[in-house]
Amino acid sequence: MKRRTFTTLAASLGLVASMMGSSALAQDPVRIAVVVKALGIGFFEAAARGAEEAAAELGNVEIIYTGPTDTTAEGQIEVINALIAQGVDAIAISANDTDALVPVLQRAMQRGITVISWDSGVAEAGRQVHLNPSSNALIGNMIIKLAADHLPDGGQVAVLSASATATNQNTWIAEMNAVMGNYPGIDVVATVYGDDLADKSYREAIGLMQAYPDLDAIIAPTSVGIVAAAQAVVDAGRVGEVNVTGLGLPSEMAGAIEAGASQSFAIWNPIDLGYSATMIAYALATGAATAEPGASIPMGRMGTLVLDETNSGAMADPFVYDASNIEEFKSIF
């Protein structure tokens, strides 16, 4: 009888120990490596802030912020190999090369590590999900909306693009033209090309203001063109008459906002991007979501990512920068 009692007690203690072990395991942090193109870049440091914000919300996440010292595929491969050796739970990477990283990331996935790309994508074979900062349709709508928001009675706008063969620029302009019916009274009078050269973009902007004396806005969906156009407006004495908008960097456009040459512009918010990438990586690593076409993956305060046939999805509209927030972001990127 005593032997039986001892056996039962031992079994019970074993069960408790097993449960305690399982509980401890369940509470182990999910280690998510946020791998950037290179360390020391403000854009990616802002993304790391967003990743830490997501980790704080989730409560059991450890963020490993890492990357090479230069923007090379070789540097990222070395970093990824180290992460595989550490046995991290997930890798969220902004890639320096679409294809070169595929073999090492496949090796990571074979070891059970969740792999997603964000910002700059990896080929489908090397990741489970890709997070685009935005989509062509959202960008196209945003660039015309930024101009129309300051023209309640309509007006003349012109587009200052990069090169005539720039695929992304042409796609965004085509998407803009597709939604022009939503902005009655807005007349796109010309599209010119600055070839992403500051001096040529400046001359093209001056030419637009001379050719169209009643021009109300210049839309430049290029970070080089938008800065050059804003300077042209200042130099031509047209501040308050011609509003420059489009896609740009806060650090480069702060002066234009302060001078009044630009009322607002847009680009994706790196803090939101790092936050969303972390939320996606966590959901996949913990089995709360699956990576398959049509799937919806929760992104916390950023909503839900819906995957297309390539397991890619768009985060959100480009983020708008204006006088209300330019001070906060101009020192970040």
Q: Where are the domains of the chain?
A: 29-134+269-316, 136-267
pLDDT score, position 204: 98
Class of domain 136-267: alpha beta
The pLDDT-based confidence of 16 (bands split at 50, 70, 90) is very low
| 145-191 pLDDT per residue, tens | 999 999 999 999 999 999 898 888 999 999 999 999 999 999 999 99
pLDDT tens per residue, range 106-129 = 999 999 999 999 999 999 999 999
% of the chain residues with pLDDT over 90: 87
> What is residue 301's predicted lDDT score, i.e. its pLDDT?
97
Please provide the average confidence, as pLDDT, over all residues in the chain.
92
Burial readout 53-91 (b: 16 or more C-beta within 10 A, e: otherwise): bbbeebeebebbbbbbeebebebbbebbeebbeeebbbb
Question: Nearest-CA neighbor of 91 among 103, 101, 83?
Answer: 83
User: Is residue 21's pLDDT more than 60?
Assistant: no
Question: Would the CATH topology of 29-134+269-316 be identical to that of 136-267?
Answer: yes
Cβ contacts of residue 297 below 8 Å, gap of 6+? 129, 279, 280, 283, 284, 289, 291, 304, 305, 307, 313
Tokens (6 digits) for 25: 């395991």
Query: Is residue 1 classed exposed, middle or buried when 0-12, 13-18 and 19+ CB atoms within 10 A define those classes?
Result: exposed
Residue 17's pLDDT band, with cuts at 50, 70 and 90, is very low
Contact call for residues 91 and 249 (beta carbons, < 8 A): no
The class of domain 29-134+269-316 in CATH terms is: alpha beta
Most confident of 18-32, 162-176, 302-316: 302-316
Give Cα 26 to chain centroid, integer Å.
Answer: 31
